[in-house]
Structure 1
Amino acid sequence: MNQEQLNNAFTLFLSLLVEAMPFLLLGVLFSGLLLLFVNEGQLAAKMPKNPLLGAIAGSLIGFLFPVCECGNVPVARRLLLQGVPTPVAVGFLLAAPTINPIVIWATWTAFRDQPEIVVLRVVFSLAIAIIIGWVFSAGADLSAIMQPEIANNWQKPPVETEEFISPLLQSGTYLLAGAEQPIRMDATVMQAQLAATALSKPLAYKLRLLLDNTVQELRELGAVLVIGSAIAAIVQVAVPREAILALGNSPITSILAMMLLALVVSICSTVDSFFALSFASVFTSGSLLAFLVFGPMIDLKSLGLMLSIFKPRAVFYLFALAAQLTFFFTLLVNLYIV
């Protein structure tokens, strides 16, 4: 990679980071609001227990949270930490970047002359989010696919055995509440303990905790966002865009090309419709929809952020299911609708 390519990659990296960081901040703020101002027990109790209804409810919740594919991850993570059913959180995670007023308005502005693009983007995004959320409810032990700090909220109490390992010999930081009662004080447990008492505290106390939680999550998720943006920028420079566009000569390869382009460019869902509009004269309507539906769900930035919730195996399942369903729906558009 020569000096010019490095300069271009650095410029793309900064543009991706500047574009995504405000929405990540917005998502983290919503996450903190859920932690400190929402009764987690009441929230979990109001969510449908039926997996299909839960996936539908989670997908529609995205309409209330105008965040893109960077900001939705902290909110979905907090929902899981509060004990919300997995289909609800997965449905929100996949649908929120598209099913919100800002993105719908932006899509309508870009494709005013093609209203079917706006309608089908919303319909396909909802359908895919609901299906994947429903699929993720099929596992008997969902904690096996989540990161440890998330899985701790799902695991059943351990079965007592004859073998005993002192908690003080395990990883983590502990405080002694009594002679033989060590208490684990990692970040997740501390947040849970603070949230349990925050609802009854004064507003100033809640705001201070909100600030602390925002800084903590920005430090953790922001580092992942930086790495993901760097990877996306390098790939955009290393892979000639002309090589991707050359594949768009048929109903099938055009969809694959635009899905690959969506994965690579990692553009925010609030502005991706204008990016897709530039290809409207060359690519089919199905391939444009593939870009607009698949990109907000799965791109190089969001894949890194999803690893803060799920283990790599689960992220791969999300990627594979979203890709297959997007390809199927948009191929129907190319063959039978447009």
Structure 2
Amino acid sequence: MDRWNSGLTLFFSLLVEAFPFLLLGVTFSSVLLFFIDERRLIQLIPKHPMLGALIGSMIGFLFPVCECGNVPVARRLLVQGAPTSTAIGFLLAAPTVNPIVFWATWTAFRDQPEIVFMRIGFSLFIATIVGWVFSSQKDVRPLLNPAVARAMPKVERRSPAEATSPLLQSGTFLIGQPGKTYQLDGSLLQSVAIGENPVLSKSWRDRLRLVMENIILELRELGGILILGTAIASLVQVAIPRDLVLSLGQGPISSIVVMMFLAWIVSICSTVDAFFALSFASTFTTGSLLAFLVFGPMIDLKNLALLTSVFRTRAIAYLFILAGQLAFLLALLVNLYWG
């Protein structure tokens, strides 16, 4: 009974901790949708895959969201035609590479400033490399959730035999300028005739109303996934004794593996995970602490559920493997050569 009580307490604590940041991400993505011409912003992003991934990884400094709030923003970037490398870079780096997390990590590890700066540097490096790798996929739609893939702007030209009239497609449509229609696919506004966002011509009152409607739609979709992922993370965490985790964290390799697994299971928000890692500072290696702080915000059990709203299972597996391998190698180098 005590374990069930602990699991229930953990479930609500994780949910209460994560939901405000999910709300922040959903609100920000809705503002992008209804108040900003995202296409002009996206045009400023470098077309070079490596530079695009680096810029995407650094956007978190301007828009601080955690691993619960970065998913809807990354989804908006993909839908509006941002380079895949930029969206992936933002998705992986934004939960860590932002001023809020920097301040929280500095507060927890002020006696070890190298951990603070290596956490930011390693996160930037991994997000940029993974984003660059994903850019090699010319057409990323096969890796995306079908709803997201349908909402992305069409870049390829199709033959007349393959073309389908928008009026024959399912969904809800908005009437725009003469000769143009705009499809509202769930919580994603899709311009069937690619051009300026038609909502930008509406009054501020109408925009605010549409923002609230879109926030409710996305919270209904992502909130359910968040609750499911949080429940799984809570159940798994209370089933693993803490003493067992501590006994495995002595070696340069085993400690990294344990802390990466712990980061995946615990699913603590990146704004407070530094204080959790600090409790292991006296018994775990520096590299393993960094592995926890870098890998956890990128791919954790709670975040995996949210990622299904953007990617197919195969793409999530690619993200998990690539980010995990790079985090492990960097942490191992720290253990071997840093001390």
**TM-score with structure 1 length normalisation?**
0.91
Task: Confirm whether residue 70 of structure 1 aligns to residue 71 of structure 2.
Answer: no
Check the 8 A contact 2:246/2:283 in 1, yes or no: no
Mark the CA change 1:229 to 1:47 in structure 2 (over 3 Å): closer, same or farther.
same
* Counterpart residue number, 2:284: 283
| 2:264 matches 1:263 | yes
Distance change (3 Å), C-alpha of 1:283 and 1:162: closer
2:198 corresponds to 1:186: no
Q: What is the CA-CA distance between 1:204 and the residue it aligns to?
A: 1.2
Q: Which moved more, 1:200-209 or 1:84-93?
A: 200-209
Matches within 5 A, 1:68-107: 68-107=66-105
Q: Aligned residue for 1:233? A: 234
Alignment partners' CA distance in 1, 2:12 and 2:188:
35
Equivalent positions of 1:1-338 (< 5 A) are: 3-152=1-150, 153-155=152-154, 156-161=156-161, 172=171, 186-187=185-186, 190=189, 192=191, 196-338=197-339
Amino acid at match of 2:89: G
Q: 1:59·1:94 contact (CA, 8 Å) conserved in 2?
A: yes
Aligned-pair RMSD on alpha carbons? 2.5
Asked if the contact 1:23–1:71 (Cα under 8 Å) also holds between the matched residues in 2, the reply is yes
CA distance in structure 2 between the partners assigned to 1:105 and 1:174 by the alignment:
45
Moved more, 4-13 or 195-204: 195-204
Q: Distance in 2 between matches of 1:163 and 1:108?
A: 55
**2-side partners of 1:120 and 1:81: how far apart?**
32
Please state how far the C-alpha of 1:40 moved relative to its aligned partner: 2.1
The Cα offsets for residues 95-143 of structure 1, whole Å up to 9 and x where unpaired, read as: 0001110100000000000010001000000000000000000012211
Given that 2:147 and 2:185 are in contact with CA atoms closer than 8 Å, whether structure 1 keeps it comes out as no
Higher alpha-carbon deviation: 223-232 or 44-53: 44-53
Displacement of 1:11 in angstroms is 1.1
**What are the ranges of 5 or more consecutive residues in structure 2 without an aligned counterpart?**
none
Letter in 1 for 2:210: L
Give the distance between the partners of 1:26 and 1:19, measured in 2 at CA: 12
- Residue 239 of structure 1, CA deviation: 2.1
In the alignment, is the contact (CA less than 8 A) between 1:121 and 1:293 conserved in 2?
yes
1:241, CA displacement in angstroms?
2.5
Alpha-carbon separation, structure 2, partners of 1:332 and 1:323:
14
Shift of 1:20: 0.1
Q: Which runs of 5+ in 1 are unaligned?
A: none
Tell me the TM-score normalised to structure 2 length. 0.91
CA distance in 1, matches of 2:81, 2:166: 28
SS for the counterpart of 2:66 is: coil
Question: Does the CA contact (< 8 Å) of 1:43 and 1:84 recur in 2?
Answer: no
Tell me, what secondary structure is at the counterpart of 1:251?
coil
> How many Å separate the matches in 1 of 2:188 and 2:267?
34
Q: Distance in 2 between matches of 1:23 and 1:164?
A: 39
Distance in 2 between the 1:28 and 1:135 partners? 27
What CA deviation, in whole Å up to 9, does each residue of 1:281-331 have, x standing for no partner?
Answer: 000100000000001101011111111111010000000001000000010
Percent identity between the aligned chains? 59
